Amino acid sequence: MTRSDARESALTAAVRAALHAPSVFNTQPWQWHLDGDAAELYLDSDRRLEVVDPLGRLMTVSCGVALHHARMALAAEGQGVLVERRPADGPPTLVARLHMLLDHEPTDDERAMYAAIPCRRTDRRPYSDDPVPGAVAAGLVAAARREGAVLHILRPDQVPAFAVAVARAGDLEMVDPEYRGELIRWTNRPPWSNDGVPPTTAVRPALRAIPPREFSLGVERGMHPGSGTDRGALFAILTVGRDDETGWIHGGEALSAVLLTATAKGLATAPISDVIEVGVTREAVRRLLGTARHPYAAIRFGYGAPATDLPAVPRRPAHEVIASVDDGRAR
């Protein structure tokens, strides 16, 4: 195998690793185009949630998560890469272009994040009473900072106000029939679609500070909540300095870094997006933090049951989302 062949193989493997990335409502709103030792990541705008995400903020954040997954896969394999975000010579849907560079010496953090990619799962069950150590929380903050975002760890006295904002966002969305219709569409997907949020991944009601989004619309199904109460859970908000496409891409990369770092440290994670989707509650979160920065994601961390207990989440096959010049499907 030539050096060029090795780079192309590593790039293909990295893009496949990126297919594990989490996304809003598991829409998986991305398309990859491979051309030799370069790759382009595109928004799949047909997968934007028109009600939940009219601006495409969460769609773009989701693509940023996938971009970071690919970056970590390449870094861990010793491949250097140059990333162009929103290249000026591309269409508006072009999120990023990756170019292979010289060899790279991977860091321990990069290796750990890459190893965490297939292990990371969204766990909506309540977590245990065991608190997240301060050193682990500091590592999450550092992971976000390396990607240009700030992870604000909520103090215990801030959690009640955050819970109110989350509850209000849920109430405002659930009274909207268009939202309910969109939720139904993405929680009752045909098996061949390989996307969406299966009702089996929902969690039955339990006593906890901040209940997760209602994915089953009141139907008694989903996972048993277990014995956790979230007393040891850590709640945090990610913010960026720019509330635009470039800021959202960087934000997604930071979200990926935080989730993968948490997984590598043995934490369970559950992103919270409904409080960000509603303008009035997103602003309430910003005021709670006392910052001029822009909140774009919230996350719950904690120690829970093994991720292997979680139901499988559908994933689109590689041939649907990865095109290459060689197979004649160049974008």
User: Which CATH number covers residue 297?
Assistant: 3.40.109.10
Per-residue pLDDT at 306: 86
Residue 11 lies in a domain: yes
Q: Going residue by residue through the chain (331 aa), what tens digit of pLDDT does each one get?
A: 565 666 778 899 999 999 999 999 999 999 999 998 899 999 999 999 999 999 999 999 999 999 999 999 999 999 999 999 999 999 999 999 999 987 899 999 999 999 999 999 999 999 999 999 999 999 999 999 999 999 999 999 999 999 999 999 999 999 999 999 999 999 999 999 999 998 888 888 888 889 888 887 655 567 888 888 999 999 999 999 999 999 999 999 999 999 999 999 999 999 999 999 999 999 999 999 999 999 999 999 999 988 888 888 999 999 999 998 666 544 4
- Domain co-membership, 319 together with 303: no
3-state helix, strand, coil in the chain (%, to 5): 45, 20, 40
- Domain co-membership, 148 together with 251: yes
Residue 268 lies in a domain: yes
Give the helix/strand (H/E) hosting 139.
helix 134-146
- Domain co-membership, 149 together with 92: no
* Dist CA 277 CA 54 (whole Å): 9
- Domain co-membership, 215 together with 112: no
- Domain co-membership, 102 together with 152: no
Domain that holds residue 204: 134-309
Residue 250 lies in a domain: yes
- Domain co-membership, 105 together with 147: no
Residue 331 lies in a domain: no
Residue 128 lies in a domain: no
Residue 330 lies in a domain: no
Residue 329 lies in a domain: no
Q: What is the pTM of this model?
A: 0.96
- Domain co-membership, 164 together with 145: yes
Per-residue pLDDT at 103: 86
- Domain co-membership, 9 together with 90: yes
- Domain co-membership, 111 together with 166: no
- Domain co-membership, 63 together with 154: no
Total structural domains within the chain: 2
- Domain co-membership, 291 together with 319: no
- Domain co-membership, 58 together with 114: yes
Beta bridge partners of 298: 237, 272
- In this structure, what token pair is assigned to residue 31? 């398309």
Q: Which of 98, 100, 101 is nearest to 40 (CA)?
A: 98
| Beta-carbon contacts of residue 325 (< 8 Å; ≥ 6 apart) | 34, 35, 36
Residue 126 lies in a domain: no
* Dist CA 236 CA 259 (whole Å): 12
What are the distances in angstroms from CA 64 to CA 20, 59, 83, 91, 269? 13, 9, 12, 17, 18
Q: Which residue has the tokens 């860091």?
A: 107
